[in-house]
Structure 1
Amino acid sequence: MQMIGVLTKDLSGKALNWVVWSVERGGVAPIPQAGNGGKVPEYTTDWSLGGPLRDKYNITIEDFTHYCTATLRGKVYYGCVPRGKSALEAICRAVVDAMLGCQVKVPAVLISKDQASAA
């Protein structure tokens, strides 16, 4: 399976959900394919999945007009603070940034056209 490097700040949708799922599993999550059901937990859209990450990782959220930021209390950020179009997307990016860093490898099948052009 081909893996592509993506900046954490550019992760979204299935790719971001898959990386968060991998972090939560403590290792690489199954890669969704037609034969295995293709389901990835939707941390970025389901508060019952993504919401508990806020408490688990001690994340502070700030809601601005066009975006949200999420920071882990006590973490020093050099450069840009994780943000997203929604609080859940920002939380997920903050978790990935804290646990894996500013760039991660994601299965190519999960990359959207927008993420591919940013990679």
Structure 2
Amino acid sequence: MTDLIEVKTADLAGEALGWAVGKAEGLELELAEPGYNGVPWRVFARYRATVTERTERYNPWEDWALGGPLIEKHEITIQPSAWDWQRKCVLWRAQQEDENRYFEHVSPLVAAMRAVTHTRLGDTVQVPKELMP
């Protein structure tokens, strides 16, 4: 296993955010080393059943099929926070019901996954150092 570093939940993005969300959800996670053509470190979740086992890419910050059910499970509220001159939303706010803390990002899914992480793990989390820039 790799060395872990402490990161503020509000600063999580990309693979580090995926790792934190997976840990918050109690998943068994693995790191895939960088591949050819500049493919960076990636997070995978291992799912085990009675007879089968499978490993799948875990990227809830960019895949609504993974992140959407977590938003519902944790009762995360997402709403627009800022608009451009054409009244297009350019910043989203997410927070869990009954929490005073909210997270903002240009992507509603990133904001929501930070809120999910904060709900379970708090203001700071431990992530593999390879996942941080």
The verdict on a shared fold, with TM-score over 0.5 as the criterion, is: yes
Please identify which structure carries the higher helix content: 1
Q: Which structure: greater strand fraction?
A: 2
- Structure 1 SS opposite 2:6: strand
Instruction: List 4+ stretches of structure 1 deviating above 2 A.
Output: 27-34, 37-40
Read off the aligned partner of 1:68 and give its amino acid letter: W
Q: CA deviation at 1:39?
A: 4.2
Query: Identical aligned pairs, as a percentage?
Result: 34
Alpha-carbon offset, residue 31 of structure 1: 3.3
Normalised TM-score (structure 1): 0.79
Q: Could you say if the C-alpha distance between residues 105 and 28 of structure 1 is closer, same or farther in structure 2, counting changes exceeding 3 Å? A: farther
2:32 alignment partner, SS class = coil
Per the TM alignment, residue 22 of structure 1 is displaced from its structure 2 partner at its CA by 1.6
AA matched with 2:98:
G
SS of the residue aligned with 1:30?
A: strand
User: How do residues 1-119 of structure 1 correspond to structure 2 at under 5 angstroms?
Assistant: 1-24=2-25, 26=26, 29-33=29-33, 38-40=42-44, 41-64=58-81, 65=83, 66-77=90-101, 81-112=102-133
Structure 1, unaligned runs of 5 or more:
113-119
Query: Are 1:21 and 1:29, in contact at CA under 8 Å, matched by a contact in 2?
Result: yes
Amino acid at match of 2:128: P
The alignment of Structure 1 onto Structure 2 pairs a total of residues equal to 107
Please give the alpha-carbon distance, in whole angstroms, between the structure 1 residues aligned to 2:77 and 2:42.
Answer: 32
Q: Residues 99 and 29 (structure 1 numbering): CA distance in 2 closer, same or farther, change over 3 Å?
A: same
AA paired with 2:127? V
Does the CA contact (< 8 Å) of 1:82 and 1:97 recur in 2?
no
> How high is the TM-score relative to the length of structure 2?
0.71
1:36-74 deviations in Å (ceiling 9; x for gaps): x95431101111111111110011101233321111112
